[in-house]
Amino acid sequence: MVISGTISCNGPMQIIHQILLGFITAVNHLDWKHWWEHVSNEMPHFHWKCLEYLGTIFNAIATFAPDFINENMIYEDLPIEQLDTSAL
């Protein structure tokens, strides 16, 4: 909700917003609920693992986004080959 409140609806959907929507859609899907009923006893801390993955994704994007090289590539119309994706 915080991400939805801080981004514009007029432009393309932000990558963090896409990841969260995909995760929420997967977790709320009926197949997920059936799967969870079968494995919940074997994976009692799975929800923490999912949260850890989301945190790792957010940290990687936070490192990638303000990179000076990447900002220059976008604002100065440099070729896509110069994009530094090492943080991802």
pLDDT at 76 over 80: no
Q: How far apart are CA 88 and CA 74, in angstroms?
A: 17
pLDDT at 5 over 80: no
Domain ranges (residues) in the chain: 46-88
Tokens matching residue 77? 């119309």
CA angle 88, 21, 67 (to 5 degrees): 25
SS3 (DSSP) at 25: helix
Task: Quote the pLDDT of residue 9.
Answer: 64
Which band of pLDDT confidence, cut at 50, 70 and 90, is reported for residue 68?
A: low
pLDDT at 84 over 60: yes
Condensed to tens digits (0 to 9), the pLDDT of residues 8-44 reads 666 666 777 788 888 888 888 888 888 888 887 887 7
Single pTM value for the model: 0.54
For residues 53 and 82, the model is more confident at: 53
Task: Quote the pLDDT of residue 13.
Answer: 65
Mean pLDDT across the chain, nearest whole number?
76
Backbone Cα Rg of the chain:
17
